[in-house]
Amino acid sequence: MAEVLITLGIIGVVAALTMPALVAKYQEMVLKNQFKHAYSLVSQAIKQVEVNNGYPLECYVWPEFRGGNVCLEYREDGNCKKWENKGPDLYGRSSDCGIFQSEFEKTVKIIKVCENRALDQGCIPEYNGVDTIKKAEDDSLSDEDINKATVGNSWWRKDAIAKERKAYVLSDGIILLMSGWSGMRIFAIDINGKRGPNKWGHDLFAVSVSSDSGKSLNLIPAYMSGITEKGGKSTKQMLSE
């Protein structure tokens, strides 16, 4: 009897040590599969929009970063007061974004749309923004410091996400969160909807519709606004696995 109890005790200790790792591994596998499903679904919808129109619509970012506008003067709160415009079509093309957005909405199964105040209206859970993530990383930063550091992707600040961003809830629970750029040139996918952890780089990933002049549209990692919270992975890392 004593030997049985000792054996059971050893099994219990081993289980207690290994179970958290097994659970974490399982959760990681689930998120990977959900990412593949969500990414594939949106990619196919983008391709379908192109097929329906018979040509690639001009609503995309360039396939790689080609430089951007620079803030020449900041306001007292750290937000940009004056930008230097370096030229037309600096980030891509947007002339067909209205058509693209309308056609995309017909292509996927949407059960709810929030034009703004997506958090209050129940389209999205509460997300961190680039500002709150930076504050968590360095609590000594002032609000002005944080505004300056995030002025180039202010559309992903916490308040902007909750109050200003448009969001779609799809029939399978996936959430698409628009950045405010014309069309879907930069947006985010919450691969499992309101289910946790609701963190950037865990189940929330920034992506872009991308192309070059006259070429087909593709879904790529959003190189101008990638966000990864602690322990997470970038969109590019997820695609490589």
pLDDT digits (tens, 9 = 90+) for 157-192: 999 999 999 999 999 999 999 998 988 999 999 999
Please compute the mean of the pLDDT values over residues 82-111 and round it to a whole number.
Answer: 90
Q: What pLDDT sits at residue 191?
A: 97
Q: How does residue 10 score in pLDDT terms, banded at 50, 70 and 90?
A: low
Q: What tens digit of pLDDT does each residue of 34-46 get?
A: 999 999 999 999 9
C-alpha–C-alpha distance, residues 90 and 48, integer Å: 27
> pTM of this prediction?
0.88
Q: How many residues does the chain have?
A: 241
Residue 68 has pLDDT above 60, yes or no: yes
User: Quick check: 202 and 189 in contact, CB under 8 A?
Assistant: no
Question: Of 52-56, 128-132, 175-179, 201-205, which range is least confident?
Answer: 52-56
Q: Which of 163, 155, 167 is nearest to 131 (CA)?
A: 155
Question: Of 3-17, 81-95, 194-208, 226-240, which range is least confident?
Answer: 3-17
Q: How does residue 195 score in pLDDT terms, banded at 50, 70 and 90?
A: very high
By the 10 Å C-beta count (0-12 exposed, 13-18 middle, 19+ buried), 101 is classed as middle
Q: What pLDDT sits at residue 19?
A: 53
- Owner of token pair 């974490």: 24
Residue 236 has pLDDT above 50, yes or no: yes
Side chain identity at residue 125, one-letter code: P
Q: How does residue 28 score in pLDDT terms, banded at 50, 70 and 90?
A: confident
Q: How does residue 9 score in pLDDT terms, banded at 50, 70 and 90?
A: low
Rg, the chain, Cα only: 21
Residue 48 has pLDDT above 60, yes or no: yes
State the first-to-last Cα distance of the chain, in angstroms, to the nearest integer. 49
Q: How does residue 235 score in pLDDT terms, banded at 50, 70 and 90?
A: very high
C-alpha–C-alpha distance, residues 217 and 56, integer Å: 6
Please compute the mean of the pLDDT values over residues 184-204 and round it to a whole number.
Answer: 95
Tokens coding 132: 């709150």
